[in-house]
């Protein structure tokens, strides 16, 4: 495996020196780089950018489902959904996931609430061939 030196981006990818907007997933053994444009993607529409749930004391977790739709005339490739911490797990139909024009589906964020209380807020970023989208989730204990 070739040694790649770079900078860790906030989205959890490693920037390749001398290659603007080129990255590989952090910790990946894949030597193929993919472009991560620095702009927010406007053609992948979400049912909401942030979601909140009320949870009961002792509840071990909760799932947030985000509906997505590609409103452009071109496919959008979603490489990954990176979460702000290990207590949140993202799932999507496949990795990478190509969303055809007019197509859509769901991205799920599962939040582990073991040992939590009060209000728990987390974030995630959808990394796409055409930009990114931010997601926010919040669990509020009763």
Report yes or no: 40 and 125 within 8 Å, Cβ to Cβ: no
DSSP result, 13-79: EEEPTT-TTEEEETT------EE--SSB-SSEEES-SEEEEEE-TT--EEEEEEEEEE-SSS-EEEE
- Per-residue pLDDT 10s for the chain (142 aa) are 333 333 334 444 444 334 344 444 444 444 445 555 679 999 999 999 999 999 999 999 999 999 999 999 999 999 999 999 999 999 999 999 999 999 999 999 999 999 999 999 999 999 998 999 999 999 999 9
Give residue 68's pLDDT: 98
pLDDT score at 116: 94
Spatial neighbors of 79 by CB under 8 A, at least 6 apart, are 25, 34, 36, 95, 96, 127, 128, 129
- In the prediction, which pLDDT does 36 show? 53
**All domains of the chain, ordered by start, with CATH?**
1-36 (no CATH), 44-141 (2.60.40.10)
pLDDT recorded at residue 38? 77
């Amino acid at each position: 495996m070739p040694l790649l030196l770079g900078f860790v981006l906030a989205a959890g990818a490693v920037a390749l020196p001398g290659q603007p907007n080129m990255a590989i997933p952090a910790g990946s053994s894949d030597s193929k780089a993919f472009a991560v444009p620095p702009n927010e993607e406007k053609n992948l529409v979400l049912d909401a950018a942030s979601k909140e749930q009320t949870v009961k004391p002792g509840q071990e977790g909760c799932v947030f489902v985000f509906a997505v739709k590609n409103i452009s005339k071109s496919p959008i490739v979603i490489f990954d959904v990176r979460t702000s911490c290990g207590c949140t797990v993202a799932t999507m139909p496949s990795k990478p996931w190509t969303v055809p024009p007019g197509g859509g589906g769901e991205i799920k964020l599962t939040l582990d609430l073991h040992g939590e209380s009060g209000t728990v807020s987390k974030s995630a970023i959808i990394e796409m061939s055409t930009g990114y989208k931010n997601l926010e989730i919040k669990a509020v204990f009763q």
